[in-house]
Structure 1
Amino acid sequence: MLYNFLMVYFLQMNKNSFQLLNASFLQMKHEMKKEGNVSTVMQFVLLGFSEFPNLQGFLFGVFSMVYIIILVGNSLIIIIMRLDPALQNPMYFFLANFSSLEICYVSVTLPRILVNLWTQDRRISMLNCATQMCFLHMLGSTECFLLAVMAYDCYVAICNPLHYPLVMNQKMCIQLAIGSWISAIPLEIGQTCQIFSLHFCDSNQINHFFCDIPPILMLSCGDSSMHEISVYLEALLIGAVPFMLILASYSKIIFTILRLPTAQGWSKAFSTCSSHLMVVVLFFGTATITYLRPKSQHSAGGDKLLSLFYTIVTPMFNPMIYSLRNKDVIAVLRKLLIIK
């Protein structure tokens, strides 16, 4: 019931966000037409993996398998959390949210990659490009906030176990989850409109496999330094603030673990949060390098490789990280998969 409410709320917010983005784009398009020939680009070409013409079929097969693994793995986690009464607690509630987020996150980019590889038609309209970038960053921001919420949940569970049921009650969990999903929506819509208000008059070829800020800024003509500064500020706000909260939570957790009297207590406490810590390092590490580097240090090959990690590789490994390192999840999987 809680999960259904959350997803309906999120879908409605996404619908409203898309309508607002569409209205902003139409206004921007109208203004661009009024300016004559100052800005001539109205669609882009995603070059993607065009430098490997003989590997298009192979890459389509690889990314198809990856997409299936992500969908099946994360869906399985959601099903497990819903079916087993033993997993009806805040930690698994947030994990189910995280798996839902990963499915939405990869679905923004991977289907488009597969279509481009299959049809070899890499054209994308400016509206579709803006929409893809907006949703990609909204969901990426949600992941930052949700990882911070999950770190806080670990902190309360380990450092204040007696108060855990009171602090992480049903109402608090719902509020934290909804806040994570919707907090960055206005900011990302504003930044998307700002980025696509730039003039693109030299080239329309995006040397990337999806619409992202760094490769689009490279196509702009004129001074884009103010836009770069706004990107850095947003990255600091949406990325650094949750990351600092995660560091603060784990500092408290480590201090509490070191005070435990037995090695068994250390092991149990660390196993509670080790999976989450691995995901944090994978996601924040690659995303930070991508968005906090100066424009002059960006390279097409490097950006593609880094973005593969935080948009595709990490969501593929997340179900494995959380399931293989979690005894409760493994026990439920055995009940579901083993036929007695």
Structure 2
Amino acid sequence: MQLDICRLEKTFEGRTVLSVPHLRIAGGEIVALVGPSGCGKTLLLRLLAGQLKPSGGSVMLDGRDLLRDRRARARVALLFAEDLLYERLNPRQFLAFFCSLHALPSRRIDEVLAAVGLSDQARQPISQLSPSAKRRLSFAHLQLLQPALALLDEPVERVDWDTAQLFSRLIQELAAQGSAVLLSARDLAWAGKFCTRVVELEAGRVSGDYSYAAHHAEEAGQVPENPTAPTRYVPYKITARREDRIMLYDPAEVLYATSRDGRTVLRTVSGEEATTNLTLQELEQRLSGRGFFKAHRAYLVNLQHIKAIIQFTRNSYTLQLDDPQESMIPLSKQSEKELQSLLDY
């Protein structure tokens, strides 16, 4: 199985909101689509599922035109971000209705209910199920369809930890059976543990495409088959200690990190301070590609929070941040040159 996307575009009111020059996903791959809200993740999934018509480009599934070939589209399943369920039915009735709608045999309903952990709630009205149980039922249609291409939009929103762990296992099973999996996620705290590739979207454009295979092999103590393949390890939560608590910070919450008295201190946009066991150099490596800049040997700054660059003398620079205190961060001469090139000012 192979999905090939070529020059796929979507325009609204004369504005291009999505443009994907080329993207290929093979059977057995699990590709995580990440990026901020509004970057085009859901739009891309809906285009691939045939929910929306593209403005241009082609999408081929095993050589068949996915945008025009009805048989090809029948091999694609989309898990919406919303649970589209008939709440007056129970899970067994809902899956029976789904099977009749798609001309699928109903003999696998009990097997699928067991796989998603709903056997004991099979006859309970859907309206009485918990949000996690409803999400499991939504996922069940993927199990029934066994698609060549599985598209999942924010699959673990509104679910508990057990459901998230179950979904990670079931997704890996889909891939092991030959399905290509493309899922959207706000970050990689969950999907990063099992996905094989990460595709980053920014303003409707692909800003990065990274293999995770080598990273997973390294974690398992194995030598990757292709050590030169592009890899990226992007932790989307930074662990730090504040008083008697272990805090988990999203990088976007961090204003800057600095070395102080032999420790690495995080300063957040809310004004909190916490210490992490990572050195500043280790933190810089972990946050590579996440918008952080080494302003000085002792400061790592979130570029999104720079308000101004102040030049006091010919060789003396300072960064002014946009927090309420308007924090001032020293900027070395060499770093100022790098920043000038990076921001094009």
Give TM-score, length-normalised by structure 1.
Answer: 0.21
Bigger RCO (CA 8 Å, 6+ sep) = 1
Structure richer in helix, relative to its length: 1
Give TM-score, length-normalised by structure 2.
Answer: 0.21
Structure richer in strand, relative to its length: 2
Compare CA radii of gyration and give the structure with the larger one: 2
